[in-house]
Amino acid sequence: MQSFKSPVYLAGAALLIASNMTLADDDMENYRLRFEPLPHLPPLPAENSQTDEKVELGNMLFFEPRISASGVISCATCHNPALGWSDRIPRAVGHNGQIGERNTPTVLNSGFLNAQFWDGREPDLEGQALGPIEADVEMAMQLDHALERLAEFELYQDKFAEAYPNQEDPINAENLGKALAVFQRTLNTPNAPFDRYLQGDMNAISEQAKNGMVAFVDNGCIACHRGPNLTDSQFHAIQVPGSTDLGRYIVTGEESDKYRFRTPTLRNVAVTYPYMNNGATQTLEEAVAVMGQEMLGREFDTTTIDEITAFLHTLTGEMPEFDVPALP
């Protein structure tokens, strides 16, 4: 005999289902409110305003190998646009094939950071920009010599004068750092699937990724990976397997800073492998497991690892537009 359900029964069932869906949506909303979409631009310092002329000059300098001792290494060598603006090798290779101590961080969204380098030895991009030029293991070029090389070219004379008008000698170290910093502040990746989800597109990410977002919050990952760039820009102690790097201690000499490193951004983390300060962690799944063990004291099961990994994949944003410059 065919069962019959009255309109009143059906309406009540529909109301109950809708109520449960609303409850679930409200519960997810509490998680969504813990996050922030990435703005299109980071904060701009008053002492280094962004102009088209500075961006163009900084773009050229970023790809300029003649400010390295060998004449073949540029900023873009280690921060390759095709490789997530990093290099996808465990540790950076610099002057004369020297291998550095640390993995190359991406420059994407670096303008949102409150500290630069793994050990935070520079507070801003202006300071960070000049460090690799002089570092023996990177570009190995004294700043004075780099500036002399740039001054040999009429095009650079014109570009520096346009970017920094009314200066008697605009080709100087301060302007070099400022131009590189201005360009790097344009290298942002907004409108990731997760950003669209936060802005109201409930179908922008999968159910697995939503579960990963919940696990990310419930397990405490968000304590350090928070804010629009998913980093607190603070320093936390972690002894990554295979690493003897003393981290921020090398900068401060404070015993409490041993093995402390700046929290890396999780933006675009799926395309900026390998991971950790020594680049020894090859996959995102492995990185999630290591962070669970080392920072949270937890052994994540396979389902949790897969869900958090799916969530992290939604943080890959739109890559910035830029011109490959024609150098003199």
Both tokens of 247, joined, read 């981290």
Residue whose entry in the numeric block shows the structure tokens 């409150």? 114
The residue among 305, 310, 280 whose CA lies nearest residue 292 is 305
| β-bridge mates for residue 80, sequence order | 86
Reduced 3-state DSSP string for 120-149: CCECCHHHHHHHHHHCCCCCCCCHHHHHHH
Contacts of 35 (CB under 8 A, 6+ apart): 194, 198, 213, 222, 226
Contacts of 57 (CB under 8 A, 6+ apart): 159, 160, 162, 163, 179, 183
Q: Is 152 a catalytic residue?
A: no
Report CA-CA distances (Å) from 80 to 62, 191, 271, 314.
Answer: 10, 21, 12, 22
Catalytic residue among 138, 162, 254, 307: 138
The residue among 310, 24, 37, 316 whose CA lies nearest residue 198 is 37
Both tokens of 15, joined, read 């109301």
Residue whose entry in the numeric block shows the structure tokens 């969504």? 32
The residue among 41, 83, 36 whose CA lies nearest residue 270 is 83
Report the phi/psi class of residue 110: left, alpha or beta, with left for phi > 0 and alpha for psi in -120 to 50: alpha
Are residues 212 and 310 in contact, defined by beta-carbon separation less than 8 angstroms? yes
Which residues are catalytically annotated? 138
